Chains A and B, each alone.
Chain A
Amino acid sequence: MKVILDSRQIERIVEDLAARIVSDVPAGSDIATIGVRSRGEVLAQRLSSRLAEKLGKDVPCGTLDITLYRDDLNSPQGAGQPQVRTTEIGFDIDGKVIILVDDVLHTGRSTRAAMDALIDLGRPMAVKLAVLVDRLGRELPIQADYAGYMCDAAADKLVQVRFVEPDGKDEVVIE
C-alpha cells in the first residue's frame, strides 16, 4: 500500500478544483454539485461548501446512485448482487450547470452510467465532470473537466480514496 495523497494535499486539491470551477463557469449561472455514490458524495459536499463561500450563494448538493445504469449488470463476472441505494437530489436540475463529482475517473464507465442516470432526471444546461484522481485506463471517450491529481497506476492495482466521514481519515492510496 502506498499513500499518494494525504489530507493536506486533498484539501488543497479541493480548494483548487473549486477555484477552477468558479473561474470557468459563466457568472450568474445556476450551479449545483451531484456526487456519485459513495465517495463522490463526500467530495461533492466539500466542493459545494467551497463553491458557496466563493460565490457568496447557496450551491445545492445531491447524491446519485448509478447501480441501475451500470453496463455490467448482466455479465456473469460483473456486478453480482449489487446494493441499490437511493438517489437524493432535492432540487430541480433543469437549466442548471451540474458539476458531476466522482472520486476516481478510470475506465469512464461509471461516468457514462452517471450521465444516463442524470438525463433521466431532467435537462441540465450543462454537465461538467470534476474528479479528485484522474487515473489512466479509459475504455470510453470520456474526460474530466476538472481533475485534481493525475495517476498512472498499473492495471492490477486499486486506487482507493478515503474520507474522514466514512473511513476515519482523508487519504488516497494505491493497493
Chain B
Amino acid sequence: MLGLRELSAEEIGYILDTAVGFEQVSTRSVKKAPPLRGKVVVNLFFEDSTRTRNSFALAANRLSADIIEFTKKTSSVSKGETLLDTARNLEAMGIDIVVVRHNAGGASRFLSRNVNACVVNAGDGFCEHPTQGLLDVYTIRKIKGTLEGLKIAIVGDVAHSRVARSDMWAMTKLGAEVTFVGPPTLMPAQAERLPVKVSYCLDEVIEKVDVINMLRIQFERLGGNPFPSIREYSHYFGLTAERMKRAKGNILVMHPGPINRGLEIESEVADGRNSVILEQVTNGLAVRMAVLFLVNQAAAQRVD
C-alpha cells in the first residue's frame, strides 16, 4: 500500500467496505481478532507522529500482530545508519509488514523494491499519506452515503501536504469535485495539471462546498515567508465561526490533525457541531486494520 494514485475506484471501495467490518472489533468486550496472529509489524517512523503511529500500533494489536516501535531519535539512525540498512536489519529479525513514514517522497516505494516484507506508506515527503486519504473518504462516505457529486474544498498549505494529494486522488476517483484553496505561495507548482480546481479566495468557495478539509500550516516545512503574518493568513484562509455562518448547514468540517487552534481553524469551529475531526481518528483505526489485514492477505497469496 504505497499510494492511492495507482488504485482504482473499485479497489478503494473494496478497502472501505472491508473497513466497515472492522469497526465492531473496537466496540465489543474483547477488542481483538486473530487474523494477524504470529505476524510482526514494524512502525518505522523517521518523522514525529501521534495519530498515525498510535493508530497503526493499535490496529496491529487488535489484529493480534506483534508490533515493534522504531523511532529515529532512539535508534542507530542517529549513528548514521541508512533507511535501507535499518529496514534490512529489522527484516533479518523476521518481520512481515513495515509501516514507514519518511520525509523523503518515494521512500516507501524505494523500500518496497528492496525488502521482502510488505510495505505500508504512512506518509512520504509531500507525496502521499494513503491511509489518511482513505479514512477521510471513509468518514465522508459514512455520513453522506456517497462521494459522488460532492463538492469538497481542501484549504491551506496544499504545497507541503501529502494529505491533500492522497485526498485528491481518493476523492476524485470516487466522483467528488475537489477545489484546492490557499495563497498562491502555498499552491503546488503546476496545480492546473492535477484533477482539481484552484481558488485563492476561501470566501468564494465556502458557500458552495459539502465538505471542507482544513490543512495544518506546517511550520517545520515552510521555507521563506509564504504569507506576511499569521494574523493575515488566518484572516483570509482561517475557518472562523463568522465564515461558517455562510457555509451550508450540513457542511462537514475535517482536519487531519494536529490542529493549530486559532490559526487555520478557530476552536469554536474545531469543536463545533459540524466538526468530524475526532470521528476521523476513530475511523482511522478501522481503516488501518483493513489495510493491514488486506496487505497480509495479499502476501499470503504471493507465497505460492
Contacts and interface: CB of A to CB of B under 8 A. Distances in A.
Interface of A: 65, 67-69, 73-76, 78-87, 116-117, 119-122
Interface string B163-186: 000000000000000000000000
A82 B300 contact: no
Given A74-B300, A76-B301, A68 B30 contact: no
Contacts of B301: 76, 80-81
Contacts of A116: 34
B89 interface: no
Q: Which 6 A-B pairs have the closest CB atoms?
A: A84-B21, A120-B30, A68-B33, A68-B35, A84-B18, A74-B300
Contacts of B25: 68
Contacts of B294: 81
B66 to A, nearest CB: 15
B267 to A, nearest CB: 35
Interface in B20-58: 20-25, 28-30, 32-35
Contact of B28 (A65, A69, A79, A121): A121
Contacts of A69: 33-35
A86 B20 contact: yes
B32 A120 contact: yes
Nearest to B20: A86
Contacts of B35: 67-69, 73
Question: Which range contains the number of B residues in contact with the other chain?
Answer: 20 to 34
A117 B22 CA distance: 13
Interface of B: 14, 17-18, 20-25, 28-30, 32-35, 63, 290, 293-294, 296-298, 300-301, 303-304
A82 B30 CA distance: 23
A120 B33 contact: yes
Nearest to A123: B29
Given A75-B300, A76-B300, A121-B29, 15 more contacts: A65-B21, A68-B34, A68-B35, A76-B301, A76-B304, A79-B297, A80-B301, A81-B294, A82-B297, A84-B17, A84-B21, A84-B290, A86-B20, A86-B21, A117-B33
Contacts of A84: 17-18, 21-22, 290, 293
Contacts of A85: 20-21
- A-side binding surface: helix, strand, loop or mixed? loop
A94 to B, nearest CB: 9
A80 B297 contact: yes
A117 B25 CA distance: 10
B190 to A, nearest CB: 36
Nearest to B293: A84
A54 B91 CA distance: 61
Contacts of A120: 28-30, 32-33
A87 B30 CA distance: 14
Contacts of B29: 120-122
A65 B63 CA distance: 15
B20 to A, nearest CB: 6
B18 A78 contact: no
